[in-house]
Amino acid sequence: MGVIVAAAGRGTRLGGGPKQYQPIGGVPMVLRALRPFVSHPDVTQVVLVLPPEDAAAPPAFLGSLGAGLTIVGGGAERADSVAAGLAALDPACATVLVHDAARPFVERSVIDAVIAHARAGEGAVAAVPLSDTLKQAVPGDDSRVARTVPRDGLWRAQTPQGFPRAVLERAHAAARTASSLPTDDAALVERTGVPVRLVPDSPRNLKVTTAADLALAELIAGQVE
């Protein structure tokens, strides 16, 4: 079982330097994201994808995670970074999970459920059902409502996402010739026709993107520790 943790973005919206190194409760965000996978008994290798310059000289705190961690440089797009992670995985890893380094609070039960689906030959995505009312704006006028979108059956995709390795590799190979790239790996796999299952997740598994998200993450860290 292999895990790819994507941390090659710049995180410019958060400010204060690369967001993956921002401390949450005194612990770097990326370290919080890595620990549940490095310590998982079914995971044999974790590949952390960093900006190329950081991969060449990784932060010293990553040394605490031991030999099960492989660090590689990412690419210009998320798909490029995940592909680099796939290439670095040991051939023995027949099942792969992909996780965002900006999600520091993933729960073991969610990881286990995603693994179970991936081992059964399907894709799986941690997700949260939408509870807000959705409004679609008029094209060209974002201040005006065009319509209300029914939220029944709609979920917010999160990570981890898991797949049989061969399925994910085929999906990424097909994406190289596509005119547009989706924003997550599950969408790439959906294009191949392989079933992708929704795994109910917790809203606490938030993606830290803005300063407000970081403040919320600090509150969550105080609750889980």
Q: Within 13 Å, how many C-alpha atoms sit on residue 9's CB side?
A: 19
Model confidence at 178: pLDDT above 90: no
The verdict on residue 147 lying in a domain is no
The verdict on residue 142 lying in a domain is no
Model confidence at 153: pLDDT above 70: yes
Q: How many domains are there within the chain?
A: 1
Query: Highest mean pLDDT: which of 55-69, 116-130, 178-192?
Result: 116-130
Model confidence at 13: pLDDT above 70: no
The verdict on residue 203 lying in a domain is yes
Q: Which residues pair with 136 in a beta bridge?
A: 147
Q: pLDDT tier at 183 (50, 70, 90 boundaries)?
A: confident
The verdict on residue 78 lying in a domain is yes
The verdict on residue 135 lying in a domain is no
What CATH number has the domain bearing residue 210?
3.90.550.10
Model confidence at 10: pLDDT above 80: no
Question: What pLDDT shows up at residue 88?
Answer: 97
Q: What is the pLDDT averaged over residues 91-99?
A: 97
Rounded CA-CA distance 148/45 in Å is: 45
Rounded CA-CA distance 165/167 in Å is: 5
Model confidence at 143: pLDDT above 70: yes
Which range marks the domain in which residue 26 is found?
2-128+154-224
